[in-house]
Structure 1
Amino acid sequence: MSWMDAQNYCREHFTDLAIPRNLSENEKIRAVIPAGVYGWISLFRTTWKWSGGPMYVFQRWIGGQPDGGTGTCGATKFDRSGYWADWSCDIRKPFICHHDSVPFTKQVVKVKLVGNSALDLNDPAVLENLQEELKQKVRENGVDAEIRLSWKKQVDGKIFYQEKEEEDQK
């Protein structure tokens, strides 16, 4: 199939086109695609990323690839030890899908708490309590799946910080 048709097929029947995030996963794909055959993987170019998100640290490009030409989709060829090359997306190639046993959605939300409280919002017990309350609110709004929440720490190690008062505008 073309890259887009392969991606649609994988998303309809599995999760997405294969995403080799490390050498071990790359080798698992290598074991399925016959030697000497290029097969589609989830890689595409806007700024070379996986169709399901950003580029991982692991990369396995053939020397000189991607070459900035017309190829905007990634394929892997296993007579070159599983190295990747860019190809035109409309060429028909075999492909490998991957399946996440439990589909998930990742969403980043910025929280602003308003009020005059002496409560230390960076206290681990307070953070845990806030997480439980947020999970409950999400469930009350109709999300019936497993919910995992985590806090993003700032550079200084804190999660919450107090906003500085804006000067009165004249």
Structure 2
Amino acid sequence: MLRGWEAGGFLLKSITISLVFSTLSSRWFNPEYVFVNERMNWSSAQRHCRQNFKDLATVRNDTDWQKIYSVVPTNQYLWTGLYRDSNISWSDGSNFSIFQTPLNVLLQPGVISARCGYQYGQNRNHWYFYPCENRYPFICYGPKGEFSITFF
């Protein structure tokens, strides 16, 4: 938004820039995590997170893990934002990095279609992939927010 004011013969310009948190990468902000105790398949959980928060949970470091498990009940099964096709990536499109590679990446036994990221309890040494049609509670990150900066 551009506005102008006359002040002593000078035209002062004010530029207001609005930034919406949901359009900025969580790499620059500390995400907040929200446990949703409603059983949905992975794509419905993703849609719910995107409509009400930002996305399914993305874990980039140990601090993120600690935040997640501070809001998740012990021994809880839940969907995360992890997804497996030809590569392993996060729901928000970011790559699954070396830093995040745990001791084991496990598929549900005998199920080749297991593509959606799942966690059990507080076991961060394993990543699990289960069929996306299974229904579990899930973890989102967000929430959306907005702020404005005005320059004179």
For the superposition of Structure 1 and Structure 2, which TM-score range results when normalised by the shorter chain? 0.5 to 0.7
Which position in structure 2 is the counterpart of 1:151? Answer: none
Which position in structure 1 is the counterpart of 2:134? Answer: 91
Which amino acid in structure 1 is aligned with residue 72 of structure 2? Answer: I
TM-score (norm. length: structure 2): 0.59
Which position in structure 2 is the counterpart of 1:38? Answer: 77
The 5-angstrom pairing of residues 16-165 of structure 1 reads 16-46=55-85, 47-57=87-97, 58-61=99-102, 63-66=104-107, 69-81=112-124, 83-99=126-142, 101=144
Structure 1 unaligned regions, length at least 5:
104-144, 147-170
Deviation at 1:64, TM superposition (A): 4.8
Q: Provide, for residues 113-166 of structure 1, a one-character-per-residue CA deviation record: whole Å limited to 9, x for no partner.
A: xxxxxxxxxxxxxxxxxxxxxxxxxxxxxxxx98xxxxxxxxxxxxxxxxxxxx
Do 1:71 and 1:89's aligned partners in 2 also have CA atoms closer than 8 Å?
Answer: yes
Deviation at 1:32, TM superposition (A): 1.8
Give the 3 Å change call, closer, same or farther, for CA 62–89 of structure 1 in structure 2.
farther
State the structure with bigger RCO (CA 8 A, min sep 6), 1 or 2: 2
TM-score (norm. length: structure 1): 0.53
Do 1:62 and 1:85's aligned partners in 2 also have CA atoms closer than 8 Å?
Answer: no
Which amino acid in structure 1 is aligned with residue 95 of structure 2? Answer: M
Question: In structure 2, how many angstroms separate the alpha carbons of the residues matched to 1:60 and 1:34?
Answer: 23
Which amino acid in structure 1 is aligned with residue 63 of structure 2? Answer: S
Do 2:88 and 2:96's aligned partners in 1 also have CA atoms closer than 8 Å?
Answer: no
Specify the SS of the correspondent of 2:95: coil
Deviation at 1:92, TM superposition (A): 0.6
Structure 2 unaligned regions, length at least 5:
1-39
Q: Which has the larger radius of gyration?
A: 1
Q: Percent identical across equivalent pairs?
A: 32
Question: In structure 1, how many angstroms separate the alpha carbons of the residues matched to 2:124 and 2:50?
Answer: 27
If each structure's strand is expressed as a fraction of its own residues, which one has the higher value? 2
2:54 corresponds to 1:15: yes
Give the 3 Å change call, closer, same or farther, for CA 60–94 of structure 1 in structure 2.
farther
Give the 3 Å change call, closer, same or farther, for CA 64–5 of structure 1 in structure 2.
closer
